[in-house]
């Protein structure tokens, strides 16, 4: 059985090659064996956004934020996902969350 990392790499190659349906299938396969693999959720949000499956995209972007609540990038990605779905208020809210996290962590 392929590891999560291998499946994720395969999915990334498919995504970069523009094979979005195949990439989504691969990422979903990964999540069946490793439901909390944050990178897969975040990649699915991108793939589903490109496929214009916005409800699915938002679901996975939100899951990424649940798994990585201290990662400003999770919320930035969520904001973009909302924006593409035309949900501007939610997008602004997610962006505010991202900024708040960045404010707490001084790198």
pLDDT digits (tens, 9 = 90+) for 17-63: 999 999 999 999 999 999 999 999 999 999 999 999 999 999 999 99
The domain total for the chain is 1
Report pTM.
0.93
Asked if 4 and 37 touch (Cβ cutoff 8 Å), the reply is: yes
Residue listed under structure tokens 């959720």:
41
Torsion of CA 19, 12, 3, 66, to 10 degrees: -110
- Which residues contact residue 50 at a Cβ distance below 8 angstroms, ignoring those fewer than 6 apart? 20
- pLDDT confidence tier of residue 7, bands split at 50, 70 and 90: very high
Question: What CATH number corresponds to the domain at position 12?
Answer: 1.25.40.10
């Amino acid at each position: 059985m392929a590891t999560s990392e291998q499946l994720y790499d395969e999915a990334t190659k498919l995504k970069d090659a523009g094979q979005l349906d195949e990439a989504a299938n691969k990422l979903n396969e990964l999540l069946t064996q490793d439901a909390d693999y944050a990178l897969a959720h975040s990649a699915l949000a991108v793939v589903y956004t490109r496929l214009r499956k916005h409800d699915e995209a938002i679901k996975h972007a939100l899951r990424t934020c649940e798994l990585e609540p201290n990662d400003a990038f999770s919320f930035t990605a969520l904001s973009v996902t909302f924006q593409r779905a035309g949900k501007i208020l939610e997008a602004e809210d997610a962006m505010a969350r991202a900024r708040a996290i960045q404010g707490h962590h001084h790198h």
